[in-house]
Amino acid sequence: MTTGVIIALIVIVAAVVVVAVVLARRRPGGQDLKRRFGPEYDRTVARHDGDSQAAERELAERVDKHGSLRERDLEPAQRQQYEARWAAAQERFVESPREAVSEADRLLAEVAGARGFPDGGQYEEQLAALSVHHAHHVHGYRRVHRVAHMRTEDGAQGGTEEMREAMVEARALFEELVGAGGRRRELTESSSGDRSARHNGHGHLPWAFSRRQAKGS
């Protein structure tokens, strides 16, 4: 084997090693994915019937595709409008839970789109992007979307309690999307007491009402 061939082989091997190192750094491993996705990691593993490697490939692909997304801040008027619509949906739930859940589903898609995530018309793509940046609350959107589109054999939607639980869980993602960008400056300039008062004054009423409060439950 000539010296030239040996040098060429060394160069090729070195290049392969460099590429492997770059890819390893670029793509997070299992522990990194667990930390980043939290409960979403476990749900993905369960959906793959316990195959953690398949789940990690899916989650890593989500990070590769959506990890560089930069969320846009909401304008104050936008934020107030979204908050008012969510508060109205919560109030409407007592008399019309189906309409309230459908509005919550539409509103989450709209707010996510306004923050820079894929358009709500691409639900799966939007959900995947949200899972990368809001992993701990994205399941609320998944639940409320599923319930909003659920139909039983007799044509009725899911039970009232199921709809209520979905809306309660979805509210956490809504508040994170509305508050993360739009309120950053407000929160840093106020005390915890003022923050609580302003929070209640913008439509975020404590909402985990009992079953007796929802019609038909």
How does DSSP classify residue 75? P
Using one digit for the tens of pLDDT, what is the confidence trace for 129-175? 999 999 999 999 999 999 998 864 444 446 889 999 999 999 999 99
Evaluate whether 144 touches 166 at the Cβ level (below 8 Å).
yes
As a whole number of angstroms, the distance between CA 186 and CA 26 comes to 35
Instruction: Please report the beta strands in the chain, taking only residues with DSSP state E, as ranges in sequence order.
Output: none
Evaluate whether 150 touches 157 at the Cβ level (below 8 Å).
yes
Provide the pLDDT for residue 8.
65
Which of 42-51, 69-78, 84-93, 187-196 shows the lowest mean pLDDT across its residues?
Answer: 187-196
Provide the pLDDT for residue 189.
41
Q: How many CB atoms lie within 10 A of CB 156?
A: 10
Which of 17-26, 65-74, 172-181 shows the lowest mean pLDDT across its residues?
Answer: 17-26
Span 74-91, average pLDDT: 96
CA angle 46, 163, 199 (to 5 degrees): 100
Residue of 53, 35, 63 lying closest to 44 (CA atoms): 53
Provide the pLDDT for residue 31.
86
Evaluate whether 164 touches 97 at the Cβ level (below 8 Å).
yes
User: Does the pLDDT of residue 99 top 70, yes or no?
Assistant: yes
User: Which tokens hold the place of 75?
Assistant: 């304008």
User: Does the pLDDT of residue 7 top 80, yes or no?
Assistant: no
Kindly report the length of the chain.
217
User: Which tokens hold the place of 136?
Assistant: 């701990």
Span 98-108, average pLDDT: 96
As a whole number of angstroms, the distance between CA 59 and CA 36 comes to 10
Provide the pLDDT for residue 13.
66
Mean pLDDT of all residues in the chain? 79
Residue of 160, 32, 145 lying closest to 94 (CA atoms): 160
As a whole number of angstroms, the distance between CA 132 and CA 206 comes to 27
Q: How many CB atoms lie within 10 A of CB 132?
A: 21
Provide the pLDDT for residue 120.
77
Provide the pLDDT for residue 5.
60
User: Which tokens hold the place of 51?
Assistant: 């195959």
User: Does the pLDDT of residue 200 top 80, yes or no?
Assistant: no
In terms of pLDDT, which residue wins out, 120 or 184?
120
As a whole number of angstroms, the distance between CA 69 and CA 85 comes to 26
